[in-house]
Structure 1
Amino acid sequence: MNRLHPFSAFTYAIQYGLLWLWIPVFLVIGLAGVFEPVSMAWLPFGALLGFLLGAAYGVVYYYRFGYAVTPDTFDVASGVFARRSREIPYRRIQNVDVRQGVFQRLLGLAVVTIETAGGGSSEAALSFVSKSEADRLQHQIRRRTAQVNGRSETPSTEPTEGEAPRERAESGEPTEPSEVDAEAEREAPSESSESEVPAPTEPDEAGRPPAERRPAPSTDRRPEPQRKRLFALESRELLLYSLTTLRPAAIAAVGFVFFLATDSILEVLLTISQPFGGPEDLATGDAQSYGVLTVVSAINGIVITYLVSVAYTFATYYDFQLGRVGDDFVYERGLLQRYSGSIPVEKVQSVTVTDNPLQRAIEYAGLWVETAGYGPDSSGGSQSAVPLARTAHVHRFTETLTGVETPKFESPPPLARRRYLVRYSLIAAVVVGIVFAIAHVTPLERWYLAAIVFAAVPPAAHLRYVHLGYYVGEDHLVIRRGFWRRRTTVIPYYRIQTVTTRRSIFQRRLGLASLVVDTASSRTFFWATPTIYDVDLEDARDTHRTGRKRLQSALRERARADDVGFSVDFT
């Protein structure tokens, strides 16, 4: 078993020391109110004793933690009092993620997390190992996973920067001796590592015959296959992506800060709103001044949330690079926190092209892949393959990646647009009703001005309708939905888990239905499961039957061909 970096002992000691120091503190506080001999003066000594015990536990935990790369599994053993041994089969491993913060990069350390298909969290985490050890583990586990799953671990023969000599040699064209020799030298280690080392025939320096010598232990030192770069996010695209994307995490962060410092933030908002007619304080003021305060607060909240989102997106996707090693996507990204990981092709469930109104206006889009399990982006199994690029470029990527033909979308019947008109009209009526109720308990006047929201109902219903569509192809089902964040998802038939026909009370009255297409991807929290909304009932049933038949056909074809189903050649 290998041990973590010695720095891990220090971090575990601090972590458990800070955790354990609260145990005697709570005990002293609880017992001081019950037993007279127990004094609150014992708190500092109890806290110190708890910290020392926790620090000792952290050091012992470090020495009891071990990991090993075996031929069939990645093994992790941990625990002080209760030992836990985990054997993670390579077939289940989806990603080996290497993460480095600023402080870790200065020390040459990294955190390695092992993520498995179908898991809701990381299966194992190594905090910390050296960066060279992290790269070694990532390479070895990726290679063994490829072998177990029958995938290629070498790039395709398509020429890249370093592959021109090989291409010329195989085609029979004359090559320079130095180029061929260099190519042979690069291949020599990987070829020899799979073969048996020939037994020596001469006695060694100690005079021992060959039969008495022990074979040298085998080392797994094959160099990682050449990485082919597929995409790099340029500075202009990174800035555009940051400016045109709103992160839900930014909203949560601003809300959390407001919760922690509500009084101070309200004082600042009062000061900002006063030049525009806001109240001097919350206790005094009229309806108009409170209205000004509300508007100013909302504008400031939106601006601050947007700036936080821009900064967060910029730091997250700084220097984003997507490459290929064998049949795996490999990516790197991050400014303050540097991530490195892979996306196994056989785990890809679907591919989604995303854009919002701003990105559509400048003809840009992004590409996400859904994988069968946990992903490192804190978003289930969804990972960004291309954060932002020209829409035409992203569509070419998608067609090359999935092999899908250019879809010809079918729209829901016009009856669906009438349904959206009624739905949004009801929402507008609720808004007016809420304003009317507020006007009866506050000095607010002219509540009827809220009826202006009805003007947004027709365009909202139209935009909802025109951005819906679906395409039933020979090998793929393509679903498009959404306006503010439009998503076009390409799903191979063999990845479909279930197809469910769903009908609400209103849909039954109109003869409509929705089809929910579920895959093994776990990304369902922020994005809804791909759904074909509000199609004619007969069309829904026909699509359901067609999808089921083509699913069975695709599974039979893949069983015969033993094909992973996705190509990773973007050229």
Structure 2
Amino acid sequence: MNRLHPFSAVTMAIQQAITGFTLPFFLVIFLSSVTDVVTTTWAFVLAPAGLVLGVAYALAYYYRFEYGMTSDTFDVQSGVFSRRSREIPYGRIQNVDIARGVVQRLLGLAVVSIETAGGGSTEAALRFVSEGEANRLQRQIRKRTAEVKGRQREPRPSAADESTTTDEEPVEPRPDKPTSPRGADRGREVADEIGPAESSEASGYEVDRRREQRLFDLRSRELLLYAFTSFRPAAVAAVLFLFFLATDTILEYFVAIAQPVGGPEDLETGTTGSYGVLTLVSFVNGLVITYLLSVAYTFATYFGFRLSRADEDFVYERGLLQRYSGSIPAEKVQSVTVTDNPAQRLIGYAGLWVETAGYGPDSSAGSQSAVPLAKRRRVYTFTENLTDVERPRFHRPPTIARRRYLVRYSLIALAIVAVAFAVTRVTVLERWYLAVAVFTAVPPAAHLRYVNLGYFVGEDHLVIRRGFWRRRTTVVPYYRIQTVSTRRSIFQRRLGLASLLVDTASSRTFSQATPTIYDVDLEDARDVHETGRKRLQSALRERARSDDPGFSVDFT
């Protein structure tokens, strides 16, 4: 069994010392203000004692945390008072992530996260190990996981085969595993190039990197386009955090920049018009700041993005400040989604995402980017080669669905007008009737929602397209479908419509909704439901007779 890097003990000791010191200190201050039993002098005793206990706990945790690799499992033992032992079978491991921040890269350290299929969080995290140890673990676990999957796919020999097969029989080499210098002998060549002074660990890592086949590199132009044409919801949370952290300073800034265009002199004095100008200026500035934060976040996240192939896995690396490295097993991919927004469609670009069965670093939904942004034609070619899907011919919902969206958005516009009227009743703002202008957006909104819906029932895949602001075209192989459910609201029943939800094994969140075929005729929904059920059974029987992983990792 191995221990973490000694720096782990230092970081944990600092964290626990801060917690152990501040918690009793503030607790004593609070209790002394509500009762006479506790005095502030207690803090001078309890706070240092908490600091010592925190450091002691961190050191004990470090010395009792061990990890190791066996022939079948990756084992982790941890815990100070309550001992916990975990044995993670290689067959369940989906991803081995390596994360390195700026400080960690300077110190040559890394965080290794091991994720398993079906999990919503990291199964085991090693915080911290050396960079060389992280690369070794990633390489060895990936190798043993592939061996386990290979044994699972190997057909069992019959009794006749067992009786005629001997140890002396020659074994034919696999056609995809050449024994030329580019194959098995490549390791010896690289070892000779590195030299005998280097460790076998470094040699193995170099061999692993050189055997990777590069599939995609995000160029600087594409990175900038992706940063400026996408939006990250995390930027909104960052702006709200900054506002609550420095509310007075930000308000003073908004007042100062609003004054030249008619804003109030201060927040206490002003007219209705000046307050309106201040509100408009503050809103515009808030949007600009949020957008710039989103651009910076996207740029830092996907800087240096590259995707490679290693055996039957997709291997990715990305990040400027926080560098990530991990893999996406092809057999864990549940569906593939092409995404684009209006700005990206305008310049002819799109992105490619894959949904995996479990946790992913990009989101808790297990969604990971294979191609953040590239030319639309190139992304569609990637998708067709990756999934072997035929060119879809989309069917749209009936035109009555567009009327439904027209009514829906009209009700939303009416609600906006009602809110504007209520605001003018309780504030100094006037002219609530200007909000009626939102009704002009209702017809185009209903039309754009309608024309961006579609579905295609192929021989081996179901393709679903939906969304306008972020249009998603999802390719789902029939054998990956878990359930197909038909749902009908009160309004859909009146119009004879239905929606089909196609669920796979991937974990999803509110932001990553289940692929849905919206508002089709009830009879069409039943036909798609029945066709999907039959082709699912056929696909499962066909896959049971072969070892095809379903997704090709050589999709360039």
Per the normalisation by structure 2, the TM-score is 0.89
Query: Does structure 1 residue 377 correspond to structure 2 residue 350?
Result: no
Give the drift of 1:318.
Answer: 0.2
Q: Paired residue for 2:523, among 538, 544, 551?
A: 538
Query: Does structure 1 residue 455 correspond to structure 2 residue 462?
Result: no
Give the alignment's Cα RMSD to 1 decimal: 2.3
Change (3 A) 1:403 1:180: closer
Q: Is the 8 A contact 1:370 1:383 kept in 2?
A: yes
Q: Distance in 2 between matches of 1:53 and 1:371?
A: 42
Q: Secondary structure at the match of 2:185?
A: helix
Q: Paired residue for 1:288, among 255, 258, 273?
A: 273
Change (3 A) 1:293 1:37: closer
Q: Distance in 2 between matches of 1:378 and 1:186?
A: 37
Give the drift of 1:287.
Answer: 1.6
Give the drift of 1:436.
Answer: 1.9
Q: Deviations over 1:226-250 (max 9, x none)?
A: 1000000000000000000110001
Q: Deviations over 1:62-101 (max 9, x none)?
A: 1111000111110000111111111011111110000000
- Matching residue of 2:294: 309
Q: Paired residue for 1:224, among 180, 185, 208?
A: 208
Query: Does structure 1 residue 274 correspond to structure 2 residue 277?
Result: no
- Matching residue of 1:22: 22
- Matching residue of 1:100: 100
- Matching residue of 1:201: none
Q: Distance in 1 between matches of 2:452 and 2:152?
A: 39
Q: Deviations over 1:234-269 (max 9, x none)?
A: 000000000001100011111111122112111111
- Matching residue of 1:519: 504
Change (3 A) 1:354 1:184: closer
- Matching residue of 2:58: 58
Q: Distance in 2 between matches of 1:466 and 1:151?
A: 48
Give the drift of 1:564.
Answer: 1.3
Change (3 A) 1:440 1:38: closer
Q: Is the 8 A contact 2:465 2:472 kept in 1?
A: yes
Q: Paired residue for 1:393, among 353, 375, 378?
A: 378
Question: Aligned ranges for residues 321-332 of structure 1 at < 5 Å?
Answer: 321-332=306-317
Q: Secondary structure at the match of 1:149?
A: helix
Equivalent residue pairs, number:
519
Q: Secondary structure at the match of 2:338?
A: strand
- Matching residue of 2:131: 131
Q: Distance in 2 between matches of 1:500 and 1:289?
A: 54
Q: Secondary structure at the match of 1:366?
A: strand
AA aligned to 1:62 is Y
Unaligned runs of 5+ in 2: 154-174, 191-202
Q: Distance in 1 between matches of 2:431 and 2:247?
A: 31
Q: Matched residues, percent identical? A: 71
AA aligned to 2:549 is V
Q: Distance in 1 between matches of 2:93 and 2:511?
A: 24
Q: Is the 8 A contact 2:76 2:85 kept in 1?
A: yes
Give the drift of 1:60.
Answer: 1.4
Q: Is the 8 A contact 2:181 2:189 kept in 1?
A: no
- Matching residue of 1:364: 349
Q: Secondary structure at the match of 1:561?
A: coil
Q: Is the 8 A contact 1:151 1:327 kept in 2?
A: no
AA aligned to 1:82 is S
Give the drift of 1:278.
Answer: 1.1
- Matching residue of 2:114: 114
Q: Is the 8 A contact 2:482 2:504 kept in 1?
A: yes
Give the drift of 1:286.
Answer: 1.9
Change (3 A) 1:76 1:424: same
Q: Secondary structure at the match of 1:408?
A: coil
- Matching residue of 1:341: 326
Greater CA drift, 120-129 or 144-153: 144-153
Q: Secondary structure at the match of 2:334?
A: strand
Q: Distance in 2 between matches of 1:459 and 1:562?
A: 48
Query: Does structure 1 residue 488 correspond to structure 2 residue 473?
Result: yes
Q: Distance in 1 between matches of 2:511 and 2:417?
A: 29
Q: Is the 8 A contact 1:72 1:90 kept in 2?
A: yes
Q: Is the 8 A contact 1:75 1:86 kept in 2?
A: yes
Q: Distance in 2 between matches of 1:322 and 1:502?
A: 38
Change (3 A) 1:70 1:431: same
Q: Secondary structure at the match of 2:128?
A: strand
AA aligned to 2:25 is V
Give the drift of 1:543.
Answer: 0.4
Q: Distance in 2 between matches of 1:111 and 1:385?
A: 22
AA aligned to 2:301 is T
Change (3 A) 1:224 1:551: same
Greater CA drift, 256-265 or 347-356: 256-265
AA aligned to 2:350 is A
Change (3 A) 1:436 1:320: same
AA aligned to 2:415 is V
Q: Distance in 2 between matches of 1:118 and 1:359?
A: 32
Q: Is the 8 A contact 2:7 2:128 kept in 1?
A: yes
Q: Distance in 2 between matches of 1:34 and 1:280?
A: 42
Q: Is the 8 A contact 2:365 2:512 kept in 1?
A: no
Q: Secondary structure at the match of 2:352?
A: strand
Query: Does structure 1 residue 256 correspond to structure 2 residue 235?
Result: no
Give the drift of 1:185.
Answer: 3.4
Give the drift of 1:33.
Answer: 6.0
Q: Secondary structure at the match of 1:224?
A: helix
Greater CA drift, 427-436 or 342-351: 427-436
Q: Is the 8 A contact 1:152 1:327 kept in 2?
A: no
